[in-house]
Amino acid sequence: MSLEQADRESADPLPLGSPAGFLAAAQSGAVREQIAQSSGVREANQSSALRELRSRGRLRGVVALLGPAFVAAVAYIDPGNFATNFSAGARYGYALLWVIVMANLMAMLVQYLSAKTGVATGRDLPELCREHLARPVSVGLWVQAELVAMATDLAEFVGAAVGLNLLFHVPLFPSGLLTAIVAFGILALEQRGYRRFELAITGLLGIVFLGFSYDLLMVGADPAAIASGLVPGFIGSDSVPLAAGIIGATVMPHVVYLHSALTKSRVVCRDDSERREVLRFQRLDVLLGLGVAGLTNMAMLFIAASLFNRTGHSVVDSIEAAHAGLGQLVGGGAALAFAVALLASGLSSSSVGTYAGQVVMQGFIRRRIPLFLRRGLTMLPALVVLGLGLPTTDSLVVSQIVLSFGIPFALVPMVLLTSRADVMGPFVNRPITTAAASGIATTIIALNVYLLYNAFFG
């Protein structure tokens, strides 16, 4: 019953001075009080989601609003990064450090825009593409996103399988199957609440960060060489494909889609002021999560440059060789930390990749398939690589170059949509933000064009 209905029923023709009139008036007042109380409770419940989180205290209230960027950050330190960063450090020392820094800054802006899209619209990026772009375009974006998902799974499964092999000497093909099983277990946590999934992924991210922090302490780095590596430049044309691979391994298209899905309904906002407050915490989330990923990527390059390039071991052509070199030149502890970090990276990023695949399919074409079937389809290339015994590190580098080609197909639609006031409302991009995001997309497209030219005419 509404307040209006209570008013109509209170307008009963019974005489006010009669006992029945007094009883009716009392009942009407009680009904109106109950309705008012229930309406107040509903309004309080509707507006309490953000306030309840903030009421937990200064630290706990902030921590409760963090998490999506840490899930996305796992994709930025997946096993593909191991291959490209160690190859870059071993071959060219610190010379490509600026590429890692630039790619990480790109990633911060890209992931924040994705997070903002979810908070501002209540939709994820694939859903917005389906709603605002032509259907052939939306279907085409879905097809390429699925191909990118296969390239992503190749890096994640191969990396985790190599990690299991290094730690426990499990053959690579069974290691790939074990990786799938563990990834399903991690994904099952998401069914019990997003927070458990976020904490599990963040824990694995922490293991990777601590593993390389330990190795860097053991190996050390050259501050002067680090400073020189921040100056942009290439060492011959052979370093350009590796730079593209670093960007492909750092800016990951599937988590551009995923991040918006993680933020779209995580905290129900009552109005735009609450959305702005949530976005402030999303900026902090991106800064911390992607900051950890960036430091980890730089640590990989520092270790390879200090340990292999400086000592003349510039041909580190596989992850296994990097592990063996750490064991021989530093010690078993450093090699163990490397292998544990590789395993944690592969397991966490494979879980995030499967989750992103579901978001992509549901958003672009409104279809869902069982996770088991999706995982089976996307991991086929990885199992082929492992089953045929193909070079794992070369396969990882190739997968990162493929990912680099997929980045514009996620970035360009996001830039277009976030610059539209009819989509974003008061949260539409400022011109300088659109210009920066467009510059990122243009840079990546130019690198891809160069790679194609170099492959066919170089």
Residue-level pLDDT at 50? 87
Chain-centre distance for alpha carbon 147: 18
Three-class secondary structure of residue 426 per DSSP: helix
Residue-level pLDDT at 150? 82
Alpha helices in 55-134 (DSSP H): 58-64, 68-74, 79-92, 97-121, 125-132
Residue of 357, 414, 345 lying closest to 112 (CA atoms): 414
d(Cα 91, Cα 89) in Å, to the nearest integer?
6
d(Cα 317, Cα 76) in Å, to the nearest integer?
21
Proportion of the chain above pLDDT 70, given as a percent: 88
Q: What are the C-alpha distances in Å from 255 to residues 92, 250, 285?
A: 29, 11, 15
Residue of 291, 335, 283 lying closest to 114 (CA atoms): 283
When mean pLDDT is compared across 18-32, 112-126, 219-233, 307-321, the lowest value belongs to: 18-32
CB 101 within 8 A of CB 298: yes
- 317: confidence class by pLDDT, cuts 50, 70, 90: low
Helix axes 371-378, 332-365, angle to 10 degrees: 120
d(Cα 82, Cα 384) in Å, to the nearest integer?
21
Q: Does domain 66-457 bear CATH number 3.30.365.10?
A: no
**Sign, CA torsion 203/206/212/216:** negative
Three-class secondary structure of residue 395 per DSSP: helix
Half-sphere exposure of 438 (CA within 13 A, CB side): 11
Q: Which residues have a Cβ under 8 Å from the Cβ of 424 and sit 6 or more positions away?
A: 116, 117, 120, 121, 417, 418
Alpha helices in 220-368 (DSSP H): 223-229, 239-250, 253-263, 272-304, 319-329, 332-365
- Phi first, then psi, for residue 367 (nearest 5°) are -130, 145
Dihedral class, residue 341 (left if φ above 0, else alpha if ψ from -120 to 50, else beta): alpha
Give percent helix, percent strand, percent coil of the chain, each to the nearest 5. 85, 0, 15
**Sign, CA torsion 367/371/373/379:** positive
**What's the token pair of residue 217?**
């302490």
* Gap between the terminal Cα atoms of the chain: 76
In terms of Cβ atoms closer than 10 Å to its own Cβ (0-12, 13-18, 19+), residue 385 is buried
Stated length of the chain:
458
- Which sequence spans correspond to the domains of the chain? 1-64, 66-457
DSSP 330: T
Half-sphere exposure of 117 (CA within 13 A, CB side): 29
**What's the token pair of residue 200?**
């599990």
pTM for the whole structure: 0.85
When mean pLDDT is compared across 59-68, 132-141, 173-182, 336-345, the lowest value belongs to: 173-182
Residue 451, pLDDT above cutoff 80: no
When mean pLDDT is compared across 192-201, 316-325, 336-345, the lowest value belongs to: 316-325
When mean pLDDT is compared across 154-163, 272-281, 312-321, 413-422, the lowest value belongs to: 312-321
Residue 55, pLDDT above cutoff 50: yes
Place of tokens 């041909």: 315
CB 441 within 8 A of CB 411: yes
d(Cα 367, Cα 360) in Å, to the nearest integer?
9
Residue-level pLDDT at 36? 42
Per residue in 225-282, pLDDT (tens digit) is 999 999 999 888 788 888 887 886 677 888 999 999 999 989 989 999 999 999 999 9
Three-class secondary structure of residue 311 per DSSP: coil
Which residue type does 409 have?
A: F
Burial 12-32 (b: 16+ CB within 10 A, else e): eeeeeeeeeeeebeeebeebb
Helix axes 380-388, 172-191, angle to 10 degrees: 160
